[in-house]
Amino acid sequence: MAQDLKRDMANILLEGKDMTLATLQPDGAPQATTVSYATDGEVIFFGCAESSRKAQNLARDHRVAITVNLPYQDWAQIRGLSLSGRARQLTEGDEIGRAELLFMAKYPEIAQYVSAPGDELAVFRVEPEIVSILDYRKGFGHADLLRLDLPAAD
């Protein structure tokens, strides 16, 4: 069962384009932002400006919540996921290079933005811990819970 749920999760992540990322502000209030992402199995990568509120929030607290919703024509087709996990900023060239390759494969148009001047880019890796997989094809409001045994980011 867990392998089937991991496959469902990976398929939703592959099909999706954007995710809503929630981080915690200094006063503990949540901040939700839409970002594009790339994946490698169950691991999620995203980038943002190093000076962004997202990056500043994650420097203080690595905990995140994420949702991904796939397009649908009617409610019987709704699929998506929500998860909690931890994000860590990548610092190793090999890790960053791998994330960049995944982004280029998913979003070929990104090449026009790579050399654009501006703020330094921070690349993050999210390791999901608890995932709720929503699939209305299995019944109205159907969701399966998946707990992943990925090592937590520091």
Q: 102, 128, 117, 108: which is closest to 37 by C-alpha?
A: 102
Q: How far apart are CA 72 and CA 69, in angstroms?
A: 9
Q: Is the pLDDT confidence value at 100 over 70? A: yes
Pick the CATH number of 2-147 from 2.20.25.90, 2.40.160.20, 3.40.50.300, 2.30.110.10: 2.30.110.10
Residue 116 confidence (pLDDT) above 70:
no
So what's the pLDDT on residue 153? 47
Regarding pTM above 0.85, the answer is yes
Are the C-beta atoms of 122 and 47 separated by less than 8 Å?
Answer: yes
Write the Ramachandran bin of 20: left for phi over 0, alpha for psi from -120 to 50, otherwise beta.
Answer: beta
143 has pLDDT over 50? yes
Collapsing DSSP states into helix, strand and coil, what is residue 6? helix
